[in-house]
Every structure is written in structure tokens, then in C-alpha cells.
Chains A and B, each alone.
Chain A
Amino acid sequence: MKNRKFTRFTLFVRFARLELCKLSNPGKLPIFFCLLFALWSLFSTIPLDAKITGNCSNCHTMHNSQGGETMVILGPGETDTAPQSSLLRASCLGCHSKTEGSTWKDPVTGAPIVFNSQQPSYNPVMGLAAGNFYWIQTEDEYGHNIFPGNPDNTLTVAPGNVTSGCGVECCHNNLYGVSKGFGVQRQGCSKCHMMGNTDGPIGYHHKNNDAAEPLADSADKGWYRFLDGHMSGSGSGVTGVEDSDWQATAAVNDHNEYLGFSGTKTSAGGFSSLDNTVTAYCTGCHGNFHIEQDASSVWIRHPSDGVVPNSGEFAAAFGASGGTGTYDPLIPVARPSLTGWTGPASTVTLGTDLVMCLSCHRAHASPYFKMVRWDYKSATLSTALSGCLVCHTSKN
């Protein structure tokens, strides 16, 4: 179950990648290393490091000047070539975006591409695990609105938000506005990623979360996708097992793993009550949605971090028989514990695993209404309900 796609090639590939970085000038790339690169591409399922490696100049610049040109890498729509904070060469989007739709990983920095300004075409779901911000360029309802010039036309505050007192533009209220949080001006991506609990952004890109240990469960490892909160100190972050290619490819045994926690169903959640789960993180802005049961323990909202029962119609969820179903990357579940996990499991254990926010929604954006993972507003009813039916098997 926990055998990761970690092979004896790993050290070899690491070596190759190191040499590639040293010889970042393409003109000097020997044939040998080109061959290595080709092999690497061929065996691209070999795990990658979340930790940034390579030449410092890939990301940083001392003077924002090289040969009379600025060194800032602009993302789609960006025009500001002024020096960036932390001597960075780009904003988040500068590194994590492409102006075409076929690239899911930056070939130089290895950064996952979360925003293609052209429709993503590299996989069937048209995005990585969290989706792609391509979809919110014209449809506010398709994703989190991170672009500074593109506030939501309808929402003035995050739906379900129960946090108050942090200012109109604070992270809990919206993502497109600019606010100062934990020492820096935050906008868009940095309102969720790399929060830290002290002044200044935490350099999670340099944390030692590598392929040998894909479980990100601490600040030392940069948490899962650098999702760090501040609710209760340094223990506030998201735990997960990161897929090597961020689900550019996905299969029953090729996907992220998420932590879940079947705790309170009557409060707005948060790390203190929901452990280091991604659902806890979501409740930072959408806490009201986690008030899921009334005093009689009857569901009043759809569960998030609720155990999928092994009874009734749910006994057949995920095609289960005898309580064990097949993992579906399109409808991911959370595990009650990821301790010791080194890779994905291909099964869903009913009565144990949990439905969570990400079971239905993509974190960044999706091609569909309300960031849902399937076309919830399809004119074809069976398509609209296709995701629901994975668990609600009698509603087919």
C-alpha cells in the first residue's frame, strides 16, 4: 500500500538533476546529460522533490539586472518588472504559470504550473490536483479569485466565512485583495500558502520535503503544499502525502493522500478542532459550512470530514464490496491517519475513510460551477450527479 514509486533510479536521477542545474546554460549541455534528461522524461513518474533545488539564480536575482535587462519573470497579465521581495525574480504566478496550455511543470525550476492562460490540455481533468486558475479568468464561480484585478463580481466575502476583525481585505475574507498579514503584504496565492505564524513568509520552498518522505506533516517539511495556518501556533498546517507530479497523471494508485478527522460537526472547525486536515484549513474562510449537524446529530449540511458509512447505500460507495472500495482520484477521500504513509493507497475503506471538502471541490479552480470536480451544472442529469453517485449509490 505504501510502496511509493521510489526506485533505485532515484539517486541516479538526483545526480542528473544536480548536474543539469550546474550546467544550466543549454549551450554547454553535453549529450550525456541530454540523454539523462530524456531518460528522466521517460521515467517521469519517478518522484520529484517538493523542495526547490537548482541554481539560485533560477529564482533569485541580486540586482534585478542582467545585461541591462530586468530579471523579473512576468506571469500572464503581469507588467511590473520592479524588484521583488526576498530578491525573487517573480511573483508566485511568474513561476507557476504559463501562457500556453500544455505545460504542467516548469522545465527549469520544476515548479508546478497552476495557471495556464490557455486551456490546460495535458490531462483529462484539465488541471493538477487543485485544478487550474485558467478557469477563473472569465468565470468567478469556477474558482478562488486570486487575481488582483479580478475581484468576484458577486461575492464580497468568502462564503461561509465566520472570521471577523481581521480587516476587509484580510485572507479570511477574500483572496484578490491586498492585506498585510504576518509581516508582509499578501495577495492571492500567499493568502493561503506560506502563512507561517511569525513575521515574514516562511521559506517553505527550501524545506526538506523530498521524495523519500512524501508525507508532509510538519513545518519542518513545509506542511502539505505549504499550507500553513496561524490559529494555534506552529502546529497549524495541513498534513498530506504529495503526489510526485501533483496528479498531472492520476490513477487509483497515483494520487495525493489527505488527512481527515472526524471531530466536531457542530462548530466552524479550524485546526484546533479538526487536527491538521485540509478541511480544517478550508474552514478558516468557510467555517460556517462545517456546522454540519444540529443538536440531534442530524446532518444539516453536507459532511466534510465525515466518515463514509459502510451501510445503506454507502456500502456500495466507490464500488465497494465487503467494506473496501477502489480509490477514485476524481472523488478523493481523506484518511484518519497518515502516520507512516509513504505513498498512495488504491483502496477506500468504508467506515474509516472520510468525505472532505476536496472530495467535491478543487482547491484552485475547475472547469465547473463552484469549483466542483465534475460538471455539477450539466444539462445531462446523470453527468451532473456523477460525483454524488460515487457515494450516494442509490441515487443513480
Chain B
Amino acid sequence: MRGKNIFSILIVFCLLIALLWTFFYADHAIGGPYLNSAHGNTAYGVNRSATATIGYTKGHCGHCHEQHASIGATEPVPTGGDASPYAVFSNNFISQSQNFCLDCHKGMGSVQMSFDRVNYNYSYWFGGDTINQITPNNIYDAMNPAPYGCCDGSRHDLETILNFVKTQWPATFKDESNPCNACHNPHLSQRGFPIVRPTDRNNIWGDSPGEKMSDYALAHGSQYMAPYRYNSTATYEPDGSAINDGSNVPDYITFCSDCHNAPNRIDSLASLTPGYDPDNCAICVPREIKQIDSGNMSRTYGMAGDYHGSITRCFDVDGTKGGVWRACGCFKESYFTAHPHPPDYYTDECPAGYARDAVCASNTTDSNANGIPDNIEFGNCCCISTTTGKSVAFPAWWGAIKPPYETANYPNFVLNCTDCHEPHGSQRPYLLRTTVNGKWWHTWTPVPGPAPSWDQRFCSTCHYHYRDKTVSTYVPEFNVTISSNGWHCGGPGSCINCHNHNSYDRCWACTWCPTGGVHGHAF
């Protein structure tokens, strides 16, 4: 009798578990990989107008594949051309604008009956900017962005992608492959998890434990801090929740590194579309894409990687190291007097106890050919202590980090690729987002000084720049107080000239880093 009761309880328990499973995981109970995919979804899956009219239900394979290159002896729209590889309804790939996927994923002229969810860009859906990011509203436009300015704009160039992947993984990608498949699997990708690694075509990336940004951070001795959602200081990307540790966002670093890695520097070979001023933009030179070496140890100070944020291993979020301003080179002659000061260029103007660096002074480079070496004429040489034989570091404001990174105050930040980059295209170069860390790039508080460049605005969504802070520090060696008030080591200009992937050999940002070498990571 007792055994019977236990059996009954077990049965009820199992039924209860099954019921709860069905309730909580209804989407996953629908079917297998395809029926759980975005294209195979019965409510919002693929639905070509011409085949929907025939009566094919949403998600039907016949919306994309014509088994006999026709239906009922006629070719459903879109018509024309020969039978296409993989029996899809149009040529898989011809160009950036002629692409099977884009036949549906476009605005005007889409052969898809309707979209349940508009294909806005990353900044809209995951950045939360539903105000400024209402365009592009389809993948075609995202992949073919209207340049914001002369030679602006960037796109994940489909021809470049196809050439790369079919060379890199010839068993997977062929001449007839669709370059979109390098990142997506149309039979697998889901609305919430659209990406599939080119090295692992049969698994969605980012949906499972171990594939989150928090996992990457943990594995690389780092900490991830999600950027703010648009116009918020309390919610975060990608879902507008209070979660900010990366446990709810795919590890895009690993994903992107399948292609963008040390041996593969993938320059964009596409000719950029001239901007709005054709007279001045007749020739736009394809951009060089910096190599991203995720295995480089020297860029992240003891941990392999080449990611933005790693400089915090060397400096604090306020721009100091243990409360001390970072060095921006050394005290030079020019800091103590106005140059040029003809005719006495050669007078050593270093303070008492210091002397002009003799090695520097011996350099005869004379760029203006006036007979005065540049280093002498412009006071470029450091003042060397006559006692110690060493120079004195010049402290300067390097730009602190804004919230939420400042608040987090992690000593080892790592950022996700999509925190800065749009996956498909941008009106700006390098696929850079125009809404970053909760701010649209146009939203920038004017400060004294020249108008900022667009990339200064971009970077200032997370970084204080020399314009933002008035700082001063006392330098006992020279008994002076340096009021930087906008000082930026290296001078103003385009941020990305110095700060970019692989910029470990640029500028002086990490001179003080104990393990960073003379020239450390400037990114």
C-alpha cells in the first residue's frame, strides 16, 4: 500500500515537472533547432509574400527554398535569373546590395510580407536608443549606410567577408556561400541570439553558460561593466535591466576573434561610398583595420588579450596611478620659456640643477631648414638632473573614466565589442556606434576650446577628455604647480589616431606601467 502511494506521488511529481517545464520553456518546447529559430518561428518566422499567397505557413522552408526553382511552372517573386545555389529563390550573393538575405531584410522592395520586429541596429535594440536610432530600420540600409560626412560610413563588407571565410574555412564556405552566414545560421539563429561562430556552425553562440561576457572576463582575469542603456544611469545594456556584469550578453570578443585575430588583419577592401559632398569626396581610400591580437601578452600586462579597457590594469579610473598623475613624457625646456626665442636658441634653459639632454640636443633634424635643429629650436629636450642623471616626469591629465565605469572602479576592465561597434554598418568609420554608453554622440556638452571632432564626442561618452577637467598638481622637483586645464599629452586631435586596437606602440600612456615596457597600451 505504501509502495502504491509512493508511486502515485512520483507520477504526480513528474506530471507537475512536465507542466512547469512546458509553462516556463514554451518556446523551446515547440520543436528542434529550426522551429526554435527566428526564421522557423510559427508566429514571426520567414514569410515571403509570393509563397505566403500560395498558402505556405510562416517559417515554411518553401519561403526561401524553391525545390524545383519554380512552383507550378512559374517562378514566385522575385523572378528572373537561373536556378540559384542551395535552391534559394535568388542569387545568394552578388554584392553588398544584391544579396539573397537582403531581398527580405530590406525596406522598400522587401519580398517578406511583413516584419514582426523591425531590424533596427544594435544601438536601438540593445542600446535602448529608440529616439535617435530609428534608422536604419532594416539590414540592407545598415549594410549600406549613408555616410554622415565625407568618406564617412563603414560597413561589414560582404565581399571581404566571403573572401576571407572561404579561404579560412574552405570546407564550410564556398564561392556560392552567403557571407551573412559567416556570423549567422539562418536555420538556427534566434531573435535573441542571432550569432553563430564561423568555426562552429551548428551551435548558437552566446546562449549558453561559458559564452557570456562575464565568462570571458573571468577567464581573462578581468571584470566587465555593461554600458548604460540609453538615457539611463540605472539600467544597462543589453536588456535594460540592472544586470551589468555581462552575464546576459554574449561574449562578442571570442566571437569576433574567430576572424579578427593576430594572423588575420582584415582590411576593408571596399571602396567607401563618397559622402554628401562629392566634390570633396571623389576618392575615398579603403581603411586599414588594425590587427587585434588577443594572444598578445604585452598589451594587457600579464594577461593575453587586446581589448579596450586593459589600460586600467596600469592606471586607475581617475587617470592616476595610486593618486599620482601619470607621466606625459618629461619636463622639457619648452615648459620653462617661450620658444622660439631667437637668436639664443642654444642657451640651456633648464632650471638650476638640470641640464638639457645631450643626446636629444645632438639630433640635427631640421624640418624647417632654418639651420636650427628642431629639438633646439622648439625646446624638445628633457631637462636631466645633474645629480641623478634622470629626467623628471611631467604629470598631466589623461582623462578619467565616466560612470558607470568610474563607479565600478575595476582595476581590470574589459569591454565587449558591441559596446562600441555596430555589427552591420555605421554612418561613421570603423562600425562605431553613434549611441554609446547611454548617450547619442550629438549630445555633448560644449566646453571651452575648439569644437570637438566626432570621435572626441564618441570617446567622451565614456572618457573625460582634456576639455572636461581643470586639474593641477605640484611638482616638487621644480617647485611648480602644473595647472593642466585641458592639457592632453600629445595634443588635441583625432582620438583614434593614437588610441586604437593594437596601439601598444603609440603615445606614452603607459610609460609608468611596471610591466608595460617603455611604450604600453594606449587603448
User: Which A residues are within 8 Å of any B CB, using their own CB?
Assistant: 141, 154-155, 157, 159-160, 286, 288-289, 291, 294, 296, 298-302, 360, 369-370, 376-382, 384-385, 388, 392, 394-396
User: Which B residues are within 8 Å of any A CB, using their own CB?
Assistant: 30-35, 40, 42, 45, 54-62, 65-73, 82-87, 174-176, 187-188, 202
- Which of A301, A380, A396 is B57 in contact with, Cβ under 8 Å? A380
Q: Measured between C-beta atoms, what is the minimum distance from B440 to chain A in Å?
A: 40
Q: Are B32 and A159 in contact (CB under 8 A)?
A: no
**Chain A residue, CB-CB nearest to B71:** A370
7 CB-based A-B contacts, threshold 8 Å: A154-B73, A159-B70, A286-B68, A298-B176, A300-B86, A301-B67, A384-B60
Top 8 nearest A-B pairs by Cβ distance?
A396-B32, A159-B73, A302-B67, A300-B83, A395-B34, A298-B85, A289-B68, A377-B55
Q: Are A381 and B68 in contact (CB under 8 A)?
A: no
- Which of B35, B45, B61, B176 is A296 in contact with, Cβ under 8 Å? B176
Given contacts A155-B73, A300-B87, A377-B55, contact A385 B61 (CB under 8 A): yes
Of B54, B72, B187, most buried by chain A (CB within 10 Å of CB) is B72
- Which residues does chain B contribute within 8 Å of A385, judged by CB atoms? 34, 60-61
CA distance A388 to B61 in the complex (A): 9
Given contacts A154-B72, A381-B35, contact A291 B86 (CB under 8 A): no
- Which residues does chain B contribute within 8 Å of A377, judged by CB atoms? 54-57
Q: Are A396 and B31 in contact (CB under 8 A)?
A: yes
A381-B60, A384-B57 given; 12 more Cβ-contact pairs under 8 Å = A157-B73, A159-B70, A288-B69, A289-B68, A296-B174, A379-B57, A380-B57, A381-B35, A385-B34, A388-B61, A395-B61, A396-B34
Given contacts A296-B176, A378-B57, A385-B60, contact A301 B35 (CB under 8 A): no
Q: Measured between C-beta atoms, what is the minimum distance from B85 to chain A in Å?
A: 4
Q: Are A291 and B72 in contact (CB under 8 A)?
A: no
Given contacts A154-B72, A160-B73, contact A299 B32 (CB under 8 A): no
CA distance A388 to B187 in the complex (A): 14
- Which residues does chain A contribute within 8 Å of B72, judged by CB atoms? 141, 154-155, 159, 370
CA distance A97 to B54 in the complex (A): 31
- Which of B57, B62, B69 is A300 in contact with, Cβ under 8 Å? B69
**Chain B residue, CB-CB nearest to A154:** B72
- Which residues does chain B contribute within 8 Å of A392, judged by CB atoms? 61
Given contacts A159-B70, A160-B73, contact A394 B32 (CB under 8 A): yes
- Which residues does chain B contribute within 8 Å of A370, judged by CB atoms? 71-72
Q: Measured between C-beta atoms, what is the minimum distance from A266 to chain B in Å?
A: 11
Q: Are A396 and B33 in contact (CB under 8 A)?
A: yes
**Chain A residue, CB-CB nearest to B56:** A377
Q: Are B85 and A299 in contact (CB under 8 A)?
A: yes
CA distance A288 to B56 in the complex (A): 24
- Which residues does chain B contribute within 8 Å of A394, judged by CB atoms? 32-34, 187-188, 202
CA distance A296 to B35 in the complex (A): 30
Q: Measured between C-beta atoms, what is the minimum distance from A175 to chain B in Å?
A: 14
- Which residues does chain A contribute within 8 Å of B60, judged by CB atoms? 381, 384-385
Given contacts A395-B32, A395-B33, contact A300 B187 (CB under 8 A): no
**Chain A residue, CB-CB nearest to B51:** A377
Given contacts A382-B35, A394-B32, A396-B35, contact A294 B85 (CB under 8 A): yes
CA distance A315 to B54 in the complex (A): 32
**Chain B residue, CB-CB nearest to A372:** B67
Given contacts A141-B72, A395-B32, contact A381 B58 (CB under 8 A): yes
Q: Are A382 and B33 in contact (CB under 8 A)?
A: no
- Which of B33, B56, B62, B83 is A301 in contact with, Cβ under 8 Å? B83
**Chain A residue, CB-CB nearest to B68:** A289
**Chain B residue, CB-CB nearest to A360:** B67
Given contacts A154-B72, A157-B73, A301-B67, contact A291 B56 (CB under 8 A): no
